[in-house]
Amino acid sequence: MERLLVLVRHGQSDWNLKNLFTGWKDPDLTEKGQAEAKAAGQRLKALGLNFDIAFTSALTRAQYTCRLILNELDQNDLKTIREQALNERDYGDLSGLNKDDARAKWGEEQVHVWRRSYDVPPPNGESLKDTVARVLPYYCQEILPRVLRGERVIVAAHGNSLRALVMVLDRLMSDTIPSMELDTGVPLVYRLNADSTVESKKVLTA
């Protein structure tokens, strides 16, 4: 039994390019982001991988990334579940602001705390801890059981929602995970043991 789980952060979005806090706002992919998603699909195809089901968030940039990957795998008709629980972290009052402008308004140190602490949320937003609290139950209830049954699963989502999964899979501590970067459009290929621990992990960089 293969127990395959692939995680992919969406390709570069318009707001990534403009250095804006995005969160639950819904910009589309840039041309570079589209190319990153297609390349991710090509790298997965080169390994001979295909999938039984896909999961993505309720946001356009993750959904488009998923579609482009599946197109490269000739799996356009694959069942794809869209779920708000997999959305990016909600940056609250920071959403839509340029990161440099936010530093000018609130100060470098405060913005750094909001971005990189585990449990301090920005005003009217979510901390990474809050994001983990909604992502992990969904993973445990809906995604992990499919993987353990032998279904091959791909999840196209966001930097912070995927950090929550990587935190559990890689057994990282809460003080480590905020500083971990997930590159856009780079698949993480996990194979799990029957007890849900990681048998192997491969990062498909270009």
pLDDT tens by residue, 146-183: 999 999 999 999 999 999 999 999 999 888 887 788 99
Share of the chain above pLDDT 70, in %: 100
Quick one: average pLDDT of 118-128? 95
Give the domain range for residue 78: 4-203
* Verdict on whether the full-model pTM lies above 0.85: yes
Predicted confidence at residue 175, as pLDDT, reads 81
Predicted confidence at residue 35, as pLDDT, reads 97
For the stretch 39-75, pLDDT in tens is 999 999 999 999 999 999 999 999 999 999 999 999 9
- Could you write out the three-class secondary structure of 80-113? EEECHHHCCCCCHHHCCCEHHHHHHHHCHHHHHH
Query: What is the rounded average pLDDT for all residues in the chain?
Result: 95
3-state helix, strand and coil shares in percent for the chain, rounded to the nearest 5: 45, 15, 40
Cβ-contact 155, 165 below 8 angstroms: yes
Active site residues: 10, 88
Cβ-contact 159, 88 below 8 angstroms: yes
**Interior CA angle at 85 toward 84 and 90, to 5°?**
80
Q: In what order do the strands lie in the sheet with 53-56?
A: 80-82, 53-56, 153-157, 4-9, 187-192, 198-203
Predicted confidence at residue 29, as pLDDT, reads 95
126/24 Cα distance (integer angstroms): 11
Q: Pairing state of beta strands 153-157 and 80-82?
A: unpaired
Predicted confidence at residue 131, as pLDDT, reads 95
Domains of the chain: total: 1
63/156 Cα distance (integer angstroms): 7
Residue-wise over 24-63: b if at least 16 C-beta within 10 A, else e? Answer: bbbbebbeebbebbbbbbebbeeeebebbbbbbbebbbbb
**Interior CA angle at 193 toward 192 and 195, to 5°?**
115
Higher pLDDT, 10 or 173: 10
CATH number at residue 40: 3.40.50.1240
